[in-house]
Amino acid sequence: MIERHPDIEIYIKRVPLEDLTQWLERRFEVSDRKDIGETLKLSMTFEGAPLTCTVFENAAKGGYTSISFEPNNTPWDDDEACANEAYELFQLEVRCITGGWTTNAPVEGGWYRFTKDGRSVVNWLT
């Protein structure tokens, strides 16, 4: 049975960090920010539920920034919903896993790529 993902992770190509943090600050209540090299950790809440967002610049070739939310106390059920919102906002290429989650394990699959041409499935090694 497919269920809500326990965490969310997306990759955005060449997103300015300032634009990304502004989006996060509009969507969540940010209570703490720690910059550690190329990694940014945000302690946040959404509708009273705590979570951590980790932003890692240059996580993959081509200038992709990884954004992960743990646990998934977010407005999105899965990575695809988060990626779709990020693409609509930034109009930059966004990628996420195609697989869902079963009771305690990820479902294997490829990657969704969101671009001006829509959503497509690609093979991608991060």
Q: Please indicate, yes or no, if residue 62 is contained in any of the structural domains.
A: yes
Q: Please indicate, yes or no, if residue 97 is contained in any of the structural domains.
A: yes
* Tokens representing residue 7 in the block: 């965490």
Q: Please indicate, yes or no, if residue 3 is contained in any of the structural domains.
A: no
Q: Please indicate, yes or no, if residue 73 is contained in any of the structural domains.
A: yes
**Beta-carbon contacts of residue 111 (< 8 Å; ≥ 6 apart):** 95, 96, 97, 98, 121, 122, 123, 124
Which domain, by its residues, includes 18? 8-122
Between CA 88 and CA 56, with CA 54 as vertex, the angle to 5 degrees is 80
Q: Please indicate, yes or no, if residue 15 is contained in any of the structural domains.
A: yes
Residue type at 35 in one-letter notation: D
Q: Please indicate, yes or no, if residue 24 is contained in any of the structural domains.
A: yes
**Beta-carbon contacts of residue 15 (< 8 Å; ≥ 6 apart):** 65, 90, 92
pLDDT in tens, 102-124: 555 455 668 999 999 999 999 88
Q: Which pLDDT belongs to residue 1? A: 45
pLDDT in tens, 43-76: 999 999 999 999 999 999 999 999 999 999 999 9
Q: What is the pTM of this model?
A: 0.90
Q: Which pLDDT belongs to residue 4? A: 85
CB 24 within 8 A of CB 33: no
* Whole-Å CA distances, 123 to 95, 97, 98, 120: 11, 10, 10, 10
Q: Please indicate, yes or no, if residue 2 is contained in any of the structural domains.
A: no
Indicate the number of domains in the chain. 1
